[in-house]
A and B are shown apart, each in its own frame.
Chain A
Amino acid sequence: MIEWAILVGVAAATLRVAAPLILASLGETVVEKAGLLNLGLQGAMLVGAFSGFMGAFFTGSLWLGLVCCVIGGTITTLLYGVLVINLNLDQVVSGLAINLLAGGLTLYFTRALFTGGVAPYLQELFGPMQIPLLGSIPILGEIIFSHTGFVYFGLICVPLISILLTKTTFGLRLRSIGEDPVIASYLGIDVVKMRYVALFIEGILAGIAGGLLTISMFNTFDTRIVAARGFVAVSIVILGRWNPLGVLAGSLLFGFTEVLSLRIGILFPEISSASTNQLFALLPYLVALIALIVGGRRVRGPASLGKRVGRE
């Protein structure tokens, strides 16, 4: 039998590694509700991770690092906005372009700025925040209330984004754009402005999602640090049916598989060996694909999602 302490540890770790996924996929939900399929999310997270690290490293302040990752994330999503909104370019290709540009810029500057081309380590990180009372509840306190501010922020964003999308005029307008931008503009909605606002929100969330990797989870930057999290987040939006609660559930599922792949040795010592441990690195991506096969078949998102308006 697996011990309790290990299970509690797994549950807590699941929430911890799910945090960037929760933030990124909530951001993607907002823009997809406005009819934009932003596959540049991966790039926005990467720039967030990079700028967060750079900010924290060169100013010596984690809080300024946090500010920088938000700025980096929003610049990236707004650049995507220029491509698809102002220049009316294909959404998919624009997203890919953003990803490649983000990869190129962050790689070049990491190599150029640091001796040996490797980013150094940060002296300190955003650590767990002790929550009085709630944190001392046995088991539950350890699982939910033993985390960094980023985890709480992610959890709070779930109801906030849900309210924003379903209970406010802004959300209603946003969703009407997602269904049909042309009709929405006939109704007097400023489609361009609304889409930029949505991208701005996504930029903040994706920037933090990336930044927390460098200034809270790991303590350095590497261009592979985001792994496929951006694309996993896009999958989560589909699996969660563009619903913040569904997105939370999806993020937890992927957080859990990530923890499973990392701790397979502790959880299942019978099958563990250096070989299987390495093989299990592919588990999160395999699960993402299987989840898409099971839960992603012909789901209907916002009607105008990914479509270009007007002439090409």
Chain B
Amino acid sequence: MSDRYVVSRGTKRSIIKALLSVLLTFAVTSVILLMSNVNPVLAFIYMFQGAFGDINLLSETLVRTSPIMVVSLGLAVSFKCKVWNIGAEGQLYIGAMLGTIVAIGIGGGLLSLLCALFVGAMGGLCWAAVPALMKVKLGINEVITTFLMNFVGIYLVQWMISYPFRSPDTYFPESAAVPASSALMIILPGTRLHLGVALALALVPIIYFLMERTTFGYKVNVVGENPEVARYGGIKVGKIVFASLIFSGVLAGLAGITEVMGIQYRVRGSLSPGYGYTGIVVALLGNNNPLGVALSSIFLAAIMNGSSTLAWAMNIPMGIVDLMQGLLFIFVLASEPFIRFLEGRGVLRL
């Protein structure tokens, strides 16, 4: 009984934290919009319409959700372990690039698709394995190394699409297109909603099961809570830290190659508008809980897509997405002590 109580209390708390941070983010964004003489209410209505206005816009938002969700579900696992992978962006690009090369190399068909997805995931894994090894074997802070790996990875991919794997028939640096027969199929005719979106959604219960019902998930939780206790309990902490970091790399790589096989069909420099960083905010907003992460992904995707309508209708720069993301991050962090403060004053009882 008491166990259940603790869980539900924690969940309630994280929902309140998330709602509070979203509210504060909208409040501060409103102030900034007012400063530029823009009616914030109108702006948010445009944003909402741009994200969910009709079936096309809704499907576009879901298409946008897919890479964010896949990345952030992976990050949620590593964050649970208190392993701060901020290299998802680079892992995503490497996964996309390697997967694309394989898809083109094999030619069309299901085999090509499956191999591409596998290799894409492995690419992300390898890119995360370097910082993971450095952390476990040498004790080097993973935040620094994963961030530096982003630069190595993205410059490497930029070079690959500019020279060795450049498409011969386009002017801009980009890879050749993957064969049409290997692309992820469209599941809603007339839209760009592809099978990858369904796969992303399917990952939600899988990650939930992994974290709540398997020994691996249990160990990740214990290591994240207290590595000393974990070690005392016979858990090989280094192994779990390593596994959680490469696991987040696998999903980041998968997100990258899914993006190629689902909608972009080639690797370009603009493949990801920072999904790897958005994923960090999403994972924290969702309190590293798969369902919370899923909802947060849709929310961030909606802001992203809505902001392009906003840019078009009210001339508000797309940078508003990054601004709101940054604010969300700060407020999610600060809401915990704030709620504790309210509890201490007896204002709030959770």
Contacts and interface: CB of A to CB of B under 8 A. Distances in A.
Contact of A282 (B84, B156, B320): B156
Interface string A26-58: 000000000001010000000000000000000
A139 interface: no
Contacts of B316: 112
B36 interface: yes
A97 B326 CA distance: 7
A103 B130 contact: no
Given A100-B281, A297-B139, A278 B162 contact: yes
A285 to B, nearest CB: 4
Nearest to B341: A87
Given A108-B320, A298-B138, A228 B147 contact: yes
A112 B152 contact: no
A278 B269 CA distance: 14
Nearest to A305: B141
B65 interface: no
Contact of A105 (B84, B134, B162, B323): B323
Interface string B266-280: 000000000001001
A135 B334 CA distance: 52
B282 to A, nearest CB: 12
A93 B284 contact: yes
Contacts of A100: 277, 280-281, 322, 325-326, 329
Contacts of A293: 134, 138, 140
B329 A96 contact: yes
Interface string A247-271: 0000000000000000000000000
B326 A102 contact: yes
Interface in A128-176: none
B145 A101 contact: no
Contact of B329 (A88, A97, A228, A296): A97
Interface residues of B, number: 46
B86 A89 contact: no
B330 interface: yes
Interface in B53-72: none
A97 B318 CA distance: 20
A77 interface: no
Size range of the interface on A?
35 or more
Nearest to A100: B326
B54 to A, nearest CB: 27
Contacts of A87: 333-334, 337
A282 B155 CA distance: 6
A39 B139 CA distance: 17
B317 interface: yes
A276 to B, nearest CB: 9
Interface string B289-318: 000000000000000000000000000111
A278 B138 contact: no
A178 B145 CA distance: 23
Given A104-B327, A297-B140, A89 B337 contact: yes
Interface in A230-261: 231-232, 234-235, 238
Interface in B237-295: 277, 280-281, 284
B91 to A, nearest CB: 15
B45 interface: no
A96 B326 contact: no
B148 A101 contact: no
A285 B152 contact: yes
B332 to A, nearest CB: 8
Nearest to A284: B151
Contacts of B323: 104-105, 107-108
Contacts of B158: 278, 281
Interface string A168-212: 000000000000000000000000000000000000000000000
Contacts of B156: 279, 282
Contacts of A238: 140-141, 144
Given A96-B84, A297-B138, A285 B151 contact: yes
B144 A292 contact: yes
User: Most chain-A Cβ atoms within 10 A of its Cβ — which of B145, B277, B326?
Assistant: B326
B149 interface: yes
Interface string B151-164: 11001101100110
A278 B334 contact: no
A117 interface: yes
Contacts of A98: 330
A297 B137 CA distance: 8
B143 interface: yes
Nearest to A117: B317
A228 B148 contact: yes
Contacts of A285: 148-149, 151-152, 155
A110 B327 contact: no
A37 B36 CA distance: 36
Interface string B35-47: 0100000000000
A123 interface: no
Contacts of B337: 87-89
B234 to A, nearest CB: 24
Contacts of A309: none
Contact of A96 (B86, B140, B148, B317): B86
A297 B323 CA distance: 37
Given A93-B333, A101-B327, A104-B325, A296 B138 contact: yes
Interface of B: 32, 36, 84, 86, 130, 134, 138-141, 143-145, 147-152, 155-156, 158-159, 162-163, 277, 280-281, 284, 316-320, 322-327, 329-330, 333-334, 336-337
13 contacts: A89-B337, A96-B86, A96-B280, A97-B333, A103-B277, A104-B325, A107-B323, A231-B144, A278-B159, A278-B162, A281-B155, A282-B152, A289-B152
Given A89-B333, A111-B318, A289-B130, 4 more contacts: A107-B323, A238-B144, A279-B159, A288-B148
